[in-house]
Every structure is written in C-alpha cells, then in structure tokens.
Amino acid sequence: MKAFVINKYGKHEKLHLTDVAKPVVRENEVLVEIHAAGLNLLDSKIKDGEFKLFLPYKFPLVLGHDVAGVVVEVGSAVRKFKVGDEVYARPADFRIGTFAEYIAIDEADAALKPANLSMVEAASIPLVALTVWQALVEKAQLKKGQKAFIQAGSGGVGTIAIQMAKHLGLDVATTTSSKNNDLVKSLGADVVIDYQTVDFENVLKDYDFVLNSQDNSTLKKSINILKAGGQAVSISGPPTADFARQAGLPWFFKIILSLISFGIRRKASKHGVHYSFLFMEASGSQLQQITRLIESGVIKPVVDRVYPFEQTNQALQYVESHHAKGKVVVKMK
C-alpha cells in the first residue's frame, strides 16, 4: 500500500511517499480503508524528535493520528464492528499511521463515525476532541458556572474546547487574532482577546481553569489569572512525574520530568492552584460519547483546508505555520 513515512527524526525531514506492507490484523483489531486523515502538531513534533525519549518509534515510521474510513476486515475476537462499518479513531501510541491507504486499529480505540459528518469532517475530530474531553471532563471535572480560559481559540483544540466548555455551562474566555474574532464568538466564546494587541494577563482574573497549548511563558502568565483552587492543564508541557507514572515510563524519567516541571509546579503551588500535564490517550468509549454530542449538534467540526493525499507534506507545512483555523485534513478518496 502507499504511505507517507519518515526515515529519521529531524526538523527538516520530509514525509516520503512509498510502498509499505499492508497491516496484518490482530485478533482484536479492525483493518480500516482510510478515506481521510486529520493532521496535528503532534505529527510534526514526533517528526522533529521532540517525544523520542518516551515514544521511541522505529523507522520507517508512518505518521498520522486521526482517521476516518471503512472497516474492510475484522480480527477473530472483534465484537463491536463488522465489515462495511464507517468508523473514526485516534489510534493508540505505537499503532499510529493514518497517512496511508490502510491502518489496523484496536477495536477499543475506534467508534462508529457520526452519521451527520462526512469522512473529512470526521477525520478532523478524534485527537482534538479526545484531548478536550480528557482535559475538561475527565481531569478538571468542570462544573456549570465556572470560568475557563481556552488559549488559541481558533486552533484545532481551541475550536472544540470552546464548544465543549459552553456545553458544560462554563463562561469562556479565549485568545485569537482579530481576523478570527467572529469565528470564536460563533463557537460560544464570551470574552475574546486579540493576543496581538492585548495581554490576557492584564484583563482576566479569578478563573477556575486554563487549557494551556502555548509556550512556558504563556503558561506562567496563565497561572496568574487563576483563583485559589484553580486548575491549569497543559497539553504542550512541561510533562510531570505523574505523567511518567501514568505512561509507565522507567523510574529515571520520573526524576527527569520532576526536574523539568519543577519551576511551573512551584509557581502553581505558591498561587494555590494545581498544575498537570495531559498527553491524551486513545479511547473508543470516549469517542462514542463525543459522537452523541456531534449528532445532537452540540459540537461541530471546523475544517480549514482539505488537501489530496499526495500533498500531505504541504498539508503538514500549513499546520506548522500555526495559521490554520480549526483542522487540516488530507483526503484519500
């Protein structure tokens, strides 16, 4: 089958279109013919080698963490799906590879595609929606009436996070450029800050929750806007020792990550708030709950650009430009 692979880590490494072996389905897996694949900054970060210490992939590596397609084969132990089912998923770590014609996915990581979405729209959803679900619902357990600050509201995570936060009954503030003001307001943002002209730290205070997707400087300022007892969840680091334990990493990673995150944890402690790092996990059961929100109209995908499969490199370059509004998707069919 055709797939885009990398042969080594590197910021200037390109994806190479080549022939690779079609996946062999294990007993608990489904083989999915890929119709569309979403792109994420995570793909770029893995390509650059940012996660090679705790995600030591083997080469050649097929990237890609979002998929929508049709089941064409099922393993002997599969009970949730049958041939012909339309599904979407964020495959588990070490089982990624959606920039290809086919992928084998554990049935526990997949869900039936929302009936009201196209393949392209569905492929834009899994990673960002699972990230938001795990941050707002699972980890922070936010309640109606609380105040949430969602950074980069027009980005892939931000567009879904604003909608989820409004569904939970939260007051939502976000940052974006002035040209995306109308977009984030249409998604439900109550307070919109033009990050190019205004420092959010000067206008926001007493917030219950921050979803940080930016650099450490922005994270530090975000701690300052939280009230005592507030929570800062970061999807861009720094990772903590708790993350090392959850990921089952060797003991020395706990020490390393504890040192790396010491500064921000100390700052959070001084302000009486809680800091945690989130590296989202694949979950078909959570995707099923997200599907219900999508089919009821609570969450709508925001897709900026769609590229043909052959232009996956160009698509990833656009993602890396940080100019995308919502998600970027490559289409196989």
- Domain extents in the chain: 2-124+301-331, 128-277
Report the C-alpha gap between 146 and 185 in whole angstroms.
18
Residue 222 phi/psi, 5-degree rounding, is -65, -35
128-277 is classed in which CATH architecture? 3-Layer(aba) Sandwich (3.40)
Confidence of residue 86 (pLDDT cuts 50, 70, 90): very high
Return the amino acid letter for 138: E
Q: What is the DSSP letter of 100?
A: B
CATH topology identical between 2-124+301-331 and 128-277: no
Return the amino acid letter for 331: K
Confidence of residue 53 (pLDDT cuts 50, 70, 90): confident
First to last CA, the chain: 15
Residue with tokens 């089919």: 295
| Overall pTM surpassing 0.85 (yes/no) | yes
Q: H helices within 19-172, ranges in order?
A: 41-48, 119-123, 126-132, 156-167
The CATH class, in words, for 2-124+301-331 is: alpha beta
Report the C-alpha gap between 125 and 164 in whole angstroms.
13
What is the DSSP track for 204-268? --SEEEEEE-S-HHHHHHHHHTEEEEEEEEESSS---HHHHHHTT--HHHHHHHHHHTHHHHHHH
Report the C-alpha gap between 53 and 51 in whole angstroms.
6
3-class DSSP state for residue 35?
A: strand
What are 99-140's pLDDT values in tens digits?
999 999 999 999 999 999 999 999 999 999 999 999 999 999
Q: What is the DSSP letter of 55?
A: S
* pLDDT at site 82: 98
Confidence of residue 98 (pLDDT cuts 50, 70, 90): very high
What are 202-256's pLDDT values in tens digits?
999 999 999 999 999 999 999 999 999 999 999 999 999 999 998 889 999 999 9
* pLDDT at site 247: 86
Buried b (16+ CB within 10 A) or exposed e, 10-44: eeeeebeeeebeebebeebbbbbebbbbbbbbbbb
User: Are the CB atoms for 86 and 70 separated by under 8 Å?
Assistant: yes
Chain centroid, CA 64 distance in Å? 12
Burial degree of 242 (CB within 10 A; 0-12, 13-18, 19+) = middle
- 333 has pLDDT over 80: no
